[in-house]
Amino acid sequence: MSTPGPNSPYNPYAAPPQGPPQGPPPAQGWGAPQAQPPGAPGYGVPPQQGVPGGQPWGAAVPVPAQGEPKNSAVAILTGLAVAVVVGVVYAFIVKATEREFNYAVIGIAALVGFTIGKLGGRNPVLPFFGSLFAVVGLLVGEFLATAMLISDKATKYGVELSTMDVFTKHSGVLVDAWKDDFDAYSVLFIVVGLIVGFTTTKKAGDS
């Protein structure tokens, strides 16, 4: 009688047949390659190219939001109007106190420059208008105040002379009276008004 072989199906001591492994795969150790999902960059899959900022090709590039457009013409006209109004207010102050305040040009220049800069934005031409209109506001105040003072003095002497008559009929007298009060300090504050008007307009436009 022959002895069954070790792998014979009739051998009761033979090892059971090996089948496919059951259960989850063994855990992978540190440094072992990890499974990649389909389409992910890895071995055999080229990485996605994109534009700067991590956007893939074809994606819409975000555009920075822009502020409302500025209108230079409106800024210039408004600045001129502010200069005239502030000049008129200054003229009434001079008439009430019978004193000139040359340093008032700083306040006039600040108001005019701020108005033009805020309405006009970063237009490089606007600071020159802010500088010019600051002096215009000062001169409007000085000439108007001088005309009102001449009218008041004429009335005291029994002469009916309105402020408008001083401008229209006696403009030579008005200019001569203004020149009498014009001195080195007047020139200094005009220069200050030019500088303050320019810088204030530029800073307001940049902000």
- DSSP for 126-141, written as a single string: HHHHHHHHHHHHHHHH
Report the first-to-last Cα separation within the chain, whole angstroms. Answer: 109
Low-confidence ranges of the chain (pLDDT < 70): 1-69
pLDDT of residue 74: 95
User: Which amino acid does the sequence have at 194?
Assistant: L
pLDDT of residue 63: 53
For residues 171 and 164, what is the distance between their CA atoms, to the nearest angstrom?
10
CB 113 within 8 A of CB 198: yes
Backbone φ and ψ of 18, nearest 5°: -85, 130
- For the chain, give the number of residues: 207
Q: What is the pLDDT of residues 178-189, one digit of tens each?
A: 999 888 988 999
pLDDT of residue 75: 95
For residues 14 and 21, what is the distance between their CA atoms, to the nearest angstrom?
20
User: Pseudo-torsion of CA 201, 74, 145, 139, nearest 10°?
Assistant: 50
Q: The whole model's pTM is what?
A: 0.65
